[in-house]
Amino acid sequence: MENSLILLAVFLVAMLLSVPIALALGFSAMLVITFASSVPPVIVIQNIYTSTDNFTLMGIPFFMLAGNLMKTGGVSRRLVNFAKTIVGSFPGGLGHVAVLTCTIFAAISGSGPATVAAVGLIMIPNMIEAGYDARYASALTAASGGIGVIIPPSIPMVVYAVLANVSIAGIFSAGFIPGFLMAFLLMGANYFVSRKRGYRGEAVPLTLPTVWRAFREAFLSLMMPVIILGGIYSGVFTPTEAAGVAVIYGFLVGALVYREIHWKDLSEILLDSAVMSAICIVILGMAAPFGWILTFENFPMKVAQMMSGFFQSQFSFLLVINVFFLFWGCVMSSMAALIILTPILLPIVATLGIDPIHFGIIMIMNLELGMLTPPFGVNLFIACSISKIGIEDIAKPMVVFIAAALIGLFTVTYIPWLALGVPRLLGLLT
**pLDDT score recorded for residue 143:** 93
pLDDT band for position 374 (cuts 50, 70, 90): low
Residue 134's pLDDT is: 92
**Of 376, 398, 374, which Cα lies nearest the Cα of 135?**
398
d(CA 360, CA 66): 24
Q: Tell me the pLDDT of the chain averaged across its residues.
A: 84
Is pLDDT above 80 for 55?
no
pLDDT of 418 strictly over 90: yes
- Specify if 260 maps to a domain: yes
- Report d(CA 405, CA 411) in Å as an integer: 10
Q: What is the band of 77 on the pLDDT scale with cuts at 50, 70, 90?
A: confident
Domain for residue 199, yes or no? yes
Is 21 a residue whose pLDDT tops 80? no
The backbone torsions φ and ψ at residue 262, rounded to the nearest 5 degrees and listed phi first, read -110, 165
Query: pLDDT digit string (tens) for 235-277?
Result: 888 877 888 888 898 899 888 888 888 888 889 889 988 887 7
Rounded mean pLDDT of 209-221?
87
Burial 376-404 (b: 16+ CB within 10 A, else e): bbbbbbbbbebbebeeebbbebbebbbeb
Question: How many residues in the chain?
Answer: 430
Whether the CB-CB separation of 108 and 155 falls below 8 Å is answered with: no
Task: Answer whether residue 430 is part of any domain.
Answer: no
For residue 151, is it within any domain?
A: yes
- Judged against a pLDDT cut of 90, whether residue 220 lies above it is answered with no
Tell me if 198 is assigned to some domain: yes
Residue 193 pLDDT level (bands cut at 50, 70, 90)? very high
Cis peptide before 205 (omega within 30 of 0): no
Q: Are 155 and 334 in contact (CB under 8 A)?
A: no
Whether 51 contacts 284, CB under 8 Å: yes
Q: Residue 344 falls within a domain, yes or no?
A: yes
> Could you tell me if 48 and 288 are in contact, meaning their C-beta atoms sit under 8 angstroms apart?
yes
Kindly report which listed range (32-41, 53-62, 280-289, 297-306) carries the lowest average pLDDT score. Answer: 297-306
At 53 the pLDDT is: 80
**pLDDT class for 71, splitting at 50, 70, 90?**
confident
E strand or H helix that includes residue 164: helix 155-164
Q: What's residue 121's pLDDT?
A: 80
Domain ranges, residue 154? 2-425
Confidence band for 312, pLDDT divided at 50, 70 and 90: low
Q: Per the structure, how many domains does the chain have?
A: 1
Nearest 10 degrees: Cα torsion 137, 143, 146, 152: -80
The pLDDT of residue 8 is above 70: yes
**143 in any annotated domain:** yes
With cut-offs at 50, 70 and 90, classify the pLDDT of residue 361.
very high
- Structure pTM? 0.81
pLDDT of amino acid 202: 77
Residue 38 lies in a domain: yes
Cα separations in angstroms, 341 against 108, 290, 301 = 27, 11, 13
Give the pLDDT band of residue 347 (cuts 50, 70, 90): confident
pLDDT of residue 291: 77
Q: Which residues of 325-357 are buried (b: 16+ CB within 10 A; e: fewer)?
A: bbebbeebbbbbbbbbbbbbbbbbbeebebbbb
